[in-house]
Structure 1
Amino acid sequence: MKYLFSLLLTALVTVAAQAQGVLTFEKELHDFGSVPEGTMATHEFRFKNTGNQPVIIANVQASCGCTTPDWTKTPVLPGKTGIVKAVYSSAGRPGIFNKTVTVTSNATTPSTVLTIKGNVLNKEQMKSSLTPAQLAQSPRLTLDRTVHNFGKMEAGQTASTKFTVKNTGKQDLVLGAITSQCYCVGYKNVPSPIKPGQSAVVELVYSQRKLGNQNEPVVITSNDITGDAKLTLKALIVQDLNANSMVKESGASVPFK
C-alpha cells in the first residue's frame, strides 16, 4: 500500500512539474545594422506560449537607460502569442551598441535575455555609405514653418505649439529626440511613424526661466538621412504677467506694460 501511495505521489509531482507555460521566442537577438543617429530603433521580439499553462511576464529590465522596453501585460494562454518590444534611443550615441533586455516570467525558464545591437552613424556617414538609389528611398521630413513666437510668457510657464510634419519620402518617417541648448523643449506626446505622403501634427512644449527675449534653436532628429529638421522658438520671458509687475529690461527695472 505504501508503495502504491509512493507511486501515486510521484506521478502527481511529475504532472505538476510538467504543467507550466513555456516562452518560445522566434529569435533572441536582433541586429539593426546601420542606424541613422537620432532614430528610435525599435524591434518587437515575438514569442509563443508552447506550454500548457498561462504565462505572465512579471517584468522586462533593460541593461541601460537608453533602451526602453514594453511587453504584453495580459496572461498569454497556451498556444497564444505575445511581444517584448525594445526601443533604443540613438540620439547623441554614435558608434556600435549591444544592449540586452531581461524578461522575467512564470514560465519554465523564468529568465530570458534578449539582445539588440547595431551601429549608429551620423547623417554624413549614412549618406556616404549609401548608393544614390538607397538615398532616394529615404524618408523626407518637411515642416509647415520653422519659426514660432510665443509672445510674452511668465518665467517657468509651460506653453505649447503645433507643427505639421509631412513625409515626402518613400519610407516611414520616424521622429527621434528633440535637442535644444536650454533643455526646455520636448514633445507633448511621442509621435507615431508617418507614412510616405502623409502628414501629422506634432505638439511641442516649451518652458523657459531665463528672462528677456529668447531665440531658441531646436533640432528634431529623425531617420531622414538628408538631415535633421531645424526650427526656432521665440518668446519674451517676464518675471510676472500681472499688470503691476516689474520687468527688467535693458538693465533697468520698468513697469510691465
Structure 2
Amino acid sequence: MARRLIWTVVGTLGLMGGIAGTARAAEWADALFAESSHNFGSVPRGAKVKHDFMLTNRLNEPITILNLRASCGCTSGRTTASIVQPGQTAVVEAHMDTRNFVGQKSTVLFVTLITAGGHEAEVRLGVTSNILSDVVLNPGSIDFGTVTRGQTPSQTLTVDRIDAPGWKFEKMISASRVINAQLVETGRQGGSVSYLLTVSLKPGAPAGLVRDEIRLIGNDPQMPSVPVAVTAMIRGDLSASPSVLSMGEVASASGAQGRFIVRASKPFTIKSVEGAGEGFSITPADKSAKPMHIVTVNFKPEEATARGSLQRTFRVHTDLPGEGPLDLKATLHVAP
C-alpha cells in the first residue's frame, strides 16, 4: 500500500556520543512510543529492512519531531508527520541497510522531540539484525526512482543461498495494491539455491510515494521470511519549483521568506498546507482555481527554539482528482 512519508536526512553519530544542545530523554518523551527497540532477527546480507515505531501524542499540546540522527551510517529514519497534534499518532520508520555487515548488528536512531511549550527531549530507538553470510540479496531492494503516473517499469532482484540444498520459498506476501510480483527458482545445484524476483508497478498506481514490502516465505525456521523493500515516487500532474527552497542565512529578527511555484496542467485549488510551526509559517493561499499557485514560506527566529542548519517539509493538499499531497522542502541556517 502506498504511503506518503516525510523524508528526514540522517547523519552519523557515535553510538556512545551525545547530541550537543539536546536534552537526554525525559520520561514524558519515552512514554509516547509503544516500544523502544526492535529485533529484525536473521536477515540476508544486502537486505534493507525497516520497522515502524508508533508515536502517540498523549500530551495536551502539539509535539514537533525536530530531528532524527543515527549511530551508524547503515541506519536512517523517516517520519509520517513533523508535527503531531494531541491525540494523534505518527510513525517513525527505522531503516537498516545490511550490505556491509555480517553477524549481529545493533544501531540506535535518536529522535529529538520538542513540545509547543519548549520542552525538549531525546528518545533512543534501537534496532538489531543478525545478518547472514550464506544468503545474499542483490540488489538489496527494488527502487523504481521517479516515474510518471501510468508507467509500468519492471525490476528484478536475485536471492542466492549456499549450503542449503533443501531450502526453498513457499509463497509471497504483500499488502500492496500498486505492484505485481513473480518469483521463479532459477537454480539448484551442489547445495546452492537461486531465485529471481521480478516486480513491476501497476498502471493504475496513484501519484505519491510508494514504500511497500514483499515478504518471501521459506521453509527455514531460522529465517522464516525474507523482506524485500519496494520504493517509488510516482509523479502526477502536480509539480513545484524550486525542488528545494534555500532561504539562506537568518541572523536577525527580521527573519526570512521564500516562495514555491506549484503548477498543474489544469486549474486547481490548494485546500491546505501542513508543516507550520517552530518559527515557520505559510501565507494563506489564494482559494481560486488556477493552474499555478504561489506558496509563501515565512520564518521568524524568535518563534523557534532550534538554531543552526534547519530543514522543514511542507505538504500541499489540492482538489486535483487522483493526486496525492505534494511535499515541499525548505532549508535555512539560523545564527546562534
TM-score tier (shorter): 0.3 to 0.5
The structure with the largest strand share of the pair is 2
The structure with the largest helix share of the pair is 1
Q: TM-score, normalised by structure 1?
A: 0.44
Q: TM-score, normalised by structure 2?
A: 0.35
